[in-house]
Amino acid sequence: MYRSRAYRYDNEGVVLVLTVLLVLAVIVLTSTVTFCLSGAFIVAMFLLSAILIRSHHQSLMRSAHRVDHHRTPELAGLVARCGLKLQPGQVDVFLVNQKQINAYTFGVSSPKVLVLFTPLLKVMDAGELSFIIGHEMGHVALGHTWLNTIIGGMAGVPAPFGAAVLLYTAFRWWNRMCEFSADRAGLLACGDIHIAVSALVKLAAPEIRNQRDFERALAAIDAEDDLASNRVAEAFQSHPLLIRRIDALRAYARTAEYQRILAGMNSNVGGRIASVQPRFTVPVQTDSMPAREPEPELSPEERWPWLKPKDLP
Ligand SMILES: [Zn+2]
């Protein structure tokens, strides 16, 4: 059977090769431009964040109470104790009058900044505050403050919708892992799983006054992950469900690694500053840390005699 393809037009092959080369060139060029623009975007976001961080730090220095040994000796003592244990580097601590129970930290260069909202002092005792301060110092020590600025900028790179959701979800996933790490730092700072869990419970239920309230609040938190909607919503949030944080801490408190690191950190403070005692007994026993007797309840004024009444909302 006679077969021929010799009738192909002279330029068809040449144009085919040119077309393929052109497509490849456009792909390389556009991805290079996208890569460079994304890099420029990340650098620009980082610089913008650094400027905003600096101005926020300056406004805190003007308007907030700076925690120091002169004005707030007890709180400064707790901060110093946590700092000795966790060695986060230089941290400026401020007390801000706000309604929420919250604390946060930020900074890309030294000193980093730790902000405590005054209601924390009303609802938490010294041990629980050590957990909160230790948690925030853990973010500093592990580099989360500056990493958050960079990774947040990378996750915010303009991208098609599906990719943007993917980037955002991944960023939040990393945020939640950072919270688990910072909780471990908080536990190491206060040195007692009961105190750590008590502080976490009070973030959700600040009004608890006695052991019964506490156990009721813990049971409500325990039911959080029963709802599928809560578990789905968690994927887009910066913090894990409280019950997951509590369970993760309980598991960590049982490890030999925790005991080893705690012993090392405790050697930093020695006997110079009194250790803290839990006020509520968490109904969970760990192999190495039996529950201790709760301390008598103190009023905020008794607990924080140096705080002026206007700072006790
Ligand atoms: Zn945190």
Other beta carbons within 10 Å of 297: 12
Strand order across the 103-106 sheet:
65-66, 91-96, 112-117, 103-106
Distance 187 CA to ligand 1 centre (A): 13
HSE-CB at 26 with a 13 A cutoff on CA atoms is 5
Q: Which of 82-86, 158-162, 290-294, 302-306 has the lowest mean pLDDT?
A: 290-294
pLDDT at 21 over 90: yes
Distance 184 CA to ligand 1 centre (A): 11
* Token digits of residue 206: 């600040």
Distance 186 CA to ligand 1 centre (A): 10
Q: How far is CA 310 from CA 96, 98, 119, 163, 200, in A?
A: 12, 12, 11, 48, 26
Task: Examine residue 313 and say whether the peptide bond preceding it is cis (omega within 30 degrees of 0).
Answer: no
Give mean pLDDT, residues 55-82. 89
What pLDDT does 236 receive?
Answer: 87
Distance 22 CA to ligand 1 centre (A): 50
**Do residues 112 and 118 touch, judged by C-beta distance below 8 A?**
no
**Do residues 137 and 111 touch, judged by C-beta distance below 8 A?**
no
**pTM higher than 0.85:** no
What pLDDT does 173 receive?
Answer: 93
What pLDDT does 301 receive?
Answer: 54
Q: How far apart are CA 39 and CA 233, in angstroms?
A: 31
Give mean pLDDT, residues 222-249. 89
Name the average pLDDT for the chain: 85
Q: How far apart are CA 172 and CA 125, in angstroms?
A: 31
Give mean pLDDT, residues 53-82. 88
pLDDT tens figures, 280-313: 444 433 333 334 444 455 555 555 444 444 444 3
pLDDT tens figures, 246-255: 999 999 999 9
> Comparing 274 with 265, which gets the higher pLDDT?
265
Other beta carbons within 10 Å of 280: 27
Q: Return residues with CB closer than 5 A to ligand 1 (ion).
A: 179, 182
Amino acid at 43: V
What pLDDT does 261 receive?
Answer: 96
**Do residues 69 and 171 touch, judged by C-beta distance below 8 A?**
no
Distance 39 CA to ligand 1 centre (A): 28
* Token digits of residue 107: 């900074």
pLDDT at 129 over 80: yes
Helices (H) and strands (E) in the chain, counts: 12, 4
What pLDDT does 93 receive?
Answer: 94
Q: Which of 52-56, 126-130, 157-161, 247-251 has the lowest mean pLDDT?
A: 157-161
Distance 234 CA to ligand 1 centre (A): 15
In sequence order, the 6+-apart residues with CB closer than 8 A to the CB of 221 are: 201, 204, 205, 242, 243, 246
The domain ranges of the chain are 12-270
90: left (phi over 0), alpha (psi -120 to 50) or beta: beta
- How much of the chain exceeds pLDDT 70, in percent? 86
* Token digits of residue 237: 């949030």
DSSP 110: S
pLDDT at 108 over 90: no
- How much of the chain exceeds pLDDT 90, in percent? 50
pLDDT at 6 over 80: yes
What pLDDT does 49 receive?
Answer: 86
* Token digits of residue 180: 């688990």
What pLDDT does 145 receive?
Answer: 92
In sequence order, which ranges of 64-160 are alpha helices (DSSP H)?
73-86, 119-123, 126-141, 144-155
